[in-house]
Amino acid sequence: MMVVMRLWRPGRLAVDVAVSVAAALVTAAGPWDRVAAWLPRGVIVPLALGQGLLLLARRRAPMAVLAATTPLGVFMLAVGYPAVPAIFATGCAAYALAVYGRRAGGAELAGTLRGAAAVLLAAVAVAVAALAPGARSQPGAWGALTIGALIAASWVLGYALRTRRDYVAELRDRAARLEAEEGERAARAVVDERLRIARELHDVIGHSISLIAIQSEAAARSARSNPDAVPAFLSRSCRSR
């Protein structure tokens, strides 16, 4: 529950809705007259809305969103819809998979490789769909390769952004740790200085007390052996002992 609330913070929710609406508008903006004649022209609207709604879950389930938007894009390409609006949502899903499809611990590399493999399959699928007989644009081999490369480039862009964010976060954590360690060293230095001063005071006081005891003993002996060499008040004090 806390994870869902964190992922659906008001700011993120606004961004998710904006991306979904933008994807739906871009998908629906293509010329509908290129769709195969056996399909009703209005079929693009539910397809565009479906792709836009799927992108709402791109943070929580990016792999599932890519798996759902790719067949829709492939279908739209295969029936003659223009490439860019047809695969726009798939490109957004590939980007989201690179940014949000991370895994913790030692499985992070495996998760990245699985994401790259999924995006590669999606890129191949849209490239093949662009060469389907029903695709009216017929971009040719290089055009189909370019369409597939757009999907792969979306993932590469997202991966680069995620890597940069991780690097910046690591630098911030390192700076915070260094600052904390510096504060601990300063506190330890203060404690060590206080202990040093306390030891020096202890030594000085102990030396002074020892000196007093030695002088007192010497005065007592002098008072007994040579009373005239000791002041009168010391002599009386020593004799009273």
Q: 156 near 99, Cβ under 8 Å?
A: no
d(CA 167, CA 240): 82
Q: What is the DSSP letter of 123?
A: H
Mean pLDDT of 111-127: 89
Q: 155 near 115, Cβ under 8 Å?
A: yes
Confidence (pLDDT) at 137: 56
Residue 16 — very low, low, confident or very high, per pLDDT cuts 50/70/90? confident
Query: Higher model confidence: residue 104 or residue 60?
Result: 60
**How long, in residues, is the chain?**
241
Count the neighbouring beta carbons within 10 Å of the beta carbon of residue 144. Answer: 22
d(CA 60, CA 1): 12
pLDDT digit string, tens, across residues 185-226: 888 888 888 888 888 888 888 888 887 877 777 766 666 666
Mean pLDDT of 98-103: 78
CA dist 55 to 25, 70, 74, 166, 240, Å?
13, 12, 17, 23, 102
pLDDT at 234 over 70: no
d(CA 119, CA 80): 22
Residue 42 parent element (H or E): none
Residue 105 — very low, low, confident or very high, per pLDDT cuts 50/70/90? very low
Mean pLDDT of 41-63: 88
One-letter amino acid at 174 equals: R
**Token pair belonging to 42:** 């209005």
How is the chain split into domains, by residue range?
2-178
One-letter amino acid at 94 equals: A
For the chain, the distance separating the N- and C-terminal CA atoms, rounded to the nearest angstrom, is: 84
Residue 4 — very low, low, confident or very high, per pLDDT cuts 50/70/90? very low
Count the neighbouring beta carbons within 10 Å of the beta carbon of residue 21. Answer: 13
d(CA 108, CA 212): 73
